[in-house]
Amino acid sequence: MLVLGVETSCDETGLAVYHTERGLLAHGLYSQVAVHAEYGGVVPELASRDHVRKILPLIREVMADANCSAADIDGIAYTAGPGLVGALMVGASVGRALAYAWDVPAVGVHHMEGHLLAPMLEDSPPEFPFVALLVSGGHTQLVSVASIGRYQLLGESLDDAAGEAFDKAAKMLDLDYPGGPHIARLAERGTPGRFSFPRPMVDRPGLDFSFSGLKTYTLNTVAKYAGADGLPDEQTSADIACAFQEAVVSTLVIKCRRALEATGLKRLVIAGGVSANTRLRAELERALGKIGAEMFYARHEFCTDNGAMIAYAGAQRLAAGQRESLAVNVRPRWPLDTLPPLDVSTSA
């Protein structure tokens, strides 16, 4: 089965062509970072307009790279949620319209299921079951994964997601959007141990997260050491970035290890934009090595939003018989654990 995947949940237009036997044939991505950078975050209306401009040229480009035509496509997968409703509508409308025009089935994919399954595109994918840490700008969740569609939510952020906290901390230090990579680079020049930031909610049982208090602590520290320009000096800024990153990483590592111990599982998948953080990967590798557990993640380009993960996840559901009706439905909020398992037919 040859599937065209369409991702437009936020500020990246992603397209891919995936074959269930031959694997990923082509993918392309247009990032809107430059569009939103001056605003310090995503502007939903601008995101929707940019998806409209970029999606059709990118579809043509990716299909040409895959050396396929409309007649070759067996199904279309598009992100149906969660995400920005206007952005979702662009991809869903185009995906549903192409499926109708080409007379092929379509399926709406859960954005976070796409992230969760992205490591399956690698040469050594994880086997089920495993624990997944989904960590991005909009989500921080720990999920027990028995198989595709069999998800049990173990814990989630009660306020800011980890990626959102990175963005806000970066803004406090006058760094560009998105904040995660900039905080990470600045932290490399920081002095470990100069500042000790709190590890939220690690001193109580459970697997939920909270990063709002850490955000406030960071803001107060920046204000305390700010100079005449409202910012700390360069070294102090680096030390603050270092302490902030260590607090987030340490919190995530503690909760991941706790989730593995609670479930008795020995495999951890990390997915989403923050999973590209090299410090997080290194600390998880070290912590998991102590308990004999393995870690899996996608290549860097598939950590952030992309069409390949949507094409893969959609291909699995299309192959299992899942179909959408002609109606274009998107779900800006969509709990992951409400998805049907693949052995339950959802044919429309």
Which residues contribute to the annotated binding site for Fe cation?
111, 115, 305
Q: Residues 225, 231, 234, CA angle at the centre, nearest 5°?
A: 85
Please give the annotated binding residues for substrate, written as ranges.
Answer: 134-138, 167, 180, 277
In 3D, which of 159, 177, 271 has the Cα closest to residue 215?
159
For residues 198 and 69, give the distance between their C-alpha atoms in angstroms, rounded to a whole number: 54
**Tokens found for residue 104:** 């092929």
**CA distance to 18, 71, 73, 101, per residue, from 67 (Å):** 12, 12, 11, 20
Please give the annotated binding residues, written as ranges.
Answer: 111, 115, 134-138, 167, 180, 277, 305
State the DSSP string of 273-314. GGGG-HHHHHHHHHHHHHTT-EEEE--GGGTSS-HHHHHHHH
Q: Name the pairing type of β-strands 150-156 and 140-147.
A: antiparallel
214-217 long-range contacts, CB within 8 A, separation 24+? 214/165, 214/244, 214/247, 214/248, 214/251, 215/160, 215/165, 215/168, 215/169
For residues 321 and 334, give the distance between their C-alpha atoms in angstroms, rounded to a whole number: 21
In 3D, which of 254, 158, 245 has the Cα closest to residue 196?
245
Question: Would you say 241 and 183 are in contact if contact means Cβ atoms under 8 Å apart?
Answer: yes
Question: Would you say 41 and 53 are in contact if contact means Cβ atoms under 8 Å apart?
Answer: no
Q: Left, alpha or beta for 255 (phi > 0: left; psi -120 to 50: alpha)? A: alpha
